[in-house]
C-alpha cells in the first residue's frame, strides 16, 4: 500500500473511520470534498485515508493507475476476480484495523467507507474480517460475485453491525442493478433483513459520483452508528 493520510481526532479519540478511494483516485480529493467538511461534526473520530498502489489496469490497456485490484470492464463482469490483489488489499485493510484495535479501540468503533472500487474493497474486508466492525458504507459500490463464496461460513457475530448502501440511479460505471444485486445478497445470504441494519439510499439522476445530499446522509448514518441513535 502507498502512503496513508490521517486526520486525528480533535478531542478524546473513541472512533475511527477508514475511507477507501476508488480506481484511479487518491485520498486527497475525498479529504477535501467529504472528510474535512464532515470532521468538525465528529471531533472524537480519527480518519484514516489509505492510498492504493499503482497497478496495471486491464480496462485502461495496462496503464498503471492507483488501484486496489485489476478490473477489465465497467460495469464489472460477474466472472472478474483479481484474487491475488484482492487478497493483498483486504490484508492491508485488516492490518489497519488490527493497528487501531491494538492501540486500544473496540473494533465496533471502527467504520469502513468506500467509493466504487473502494466500496467493493470495504464491503469485502468488513464482511470477512475476523472482528465485528461498527459499520460499513458503500458509495456506488458492488460485491464481486466470486468473492461471495468466501462469506458462506462467516459467523454472524463477526459481521459489521450496520451497512449503508448509497447509489445513483443514473450510474453507468457501476449501475444501480449491480448495487441492488449486492443488497439482495446481503439480505438473503448475510441475513441483513432488518432496516436498521441495512439502509439503502437511491439518488435520482446521480451518475458515478456523489452529491451534497449523499454526504449529508452519510453524516446522519455515522451519527446513528457512533452515537447509537
3 state DSSP class of 63? strand
Distance CA 84, CA 210 (A): 30
**Spatial CB neighbours of 49, under 8 Å, sequence gap ≥ 6:** 4, 5, 6, 7, 18, 19, 21, 27, 30, 31, 35
* Cα 85 to chain centroid, rounded: 16
For residue 216, give the C-alpha cell. Answer: 449529508
Decide: 174 and 75 in contact? Cβ < 8 Å.
yes
Distance CA 162, CA 159 (A): 9
How far is the CA of 7 from the CAs of 13, 193, 198, 225, in angstroms? 11, 34, 28, 20
Which residues are the active-site residues? Answer: 116, 171, 208
Per DSSP, what are the bridge partners of residue 63?
57
Decide: 175 and 75 in contact? Cβ < 8 Å.
yes
Amino acid at each position: 500500500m502507498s502512503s496513508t493520510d490521517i486526520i486525528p481526532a480533535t478531542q478524546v479519540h473513541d472512533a475511527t473511520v477508514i475511507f477507501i478511494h476508488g480506481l484511479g483516485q487518491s485520498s486527497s480529493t475525498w479529504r477535501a470534498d467529504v472528510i474535512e467538511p464532515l470532521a468538525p461534526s465528529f471531533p472524537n473520530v480519527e480518519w484514516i485515508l489509505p492510498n492504493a498502489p499503482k497497478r496495471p489496469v486491464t480496462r485502461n490497456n495496462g496503464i498503471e493507475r492507483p488501484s486496489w485490484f485489476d478490473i477489465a470492464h465497467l460495469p464489472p463482469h460477474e466472472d472478474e476476480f483479481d484474487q491475488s490483489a484482492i487478497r493483498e488489499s483486504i490484508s492491508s485493510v485488516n492490518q489497519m484495523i488490527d493497528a487501531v484495535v491494538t492501540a486500544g479501540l473496540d473494533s465496533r468503533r471502527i467504520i469502513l467507507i468506500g467509493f466504487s472500487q473502494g466500496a467493493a474493497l470495504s464491503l469485502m474486508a468488513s464482511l470477512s474480517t475476523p472482528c465485528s466492525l461498527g459499520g460499513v458504507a458503500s458509495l456506488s459500490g458492488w460485491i464481486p460475485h466470486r468473492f461471495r463464496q468466501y462469506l458462506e461460513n462467516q459467523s454472524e457475530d463477526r459481521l459489521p453491525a450496520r451497512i449503508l448502501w448509497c447509489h445513483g440511479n443514473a450510474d453507468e460505471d457501476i449501475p444501480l442493478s449491480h448495487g441492488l444485486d449486492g443488497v439482495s445478497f446481503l439480505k438473503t445470504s448475510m441475513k441483513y433483513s432488518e432496516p436498521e441494519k441495512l439502509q439503502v439510499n437511491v439518488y435520482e439522476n446521480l451518475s458515478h459520483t456523489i452529491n451534497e445530499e449523499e454526504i449529508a446522509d452519510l453524516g446522519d448514518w455515522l451519527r446513528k452508528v457512533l452515537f447509537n441513535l
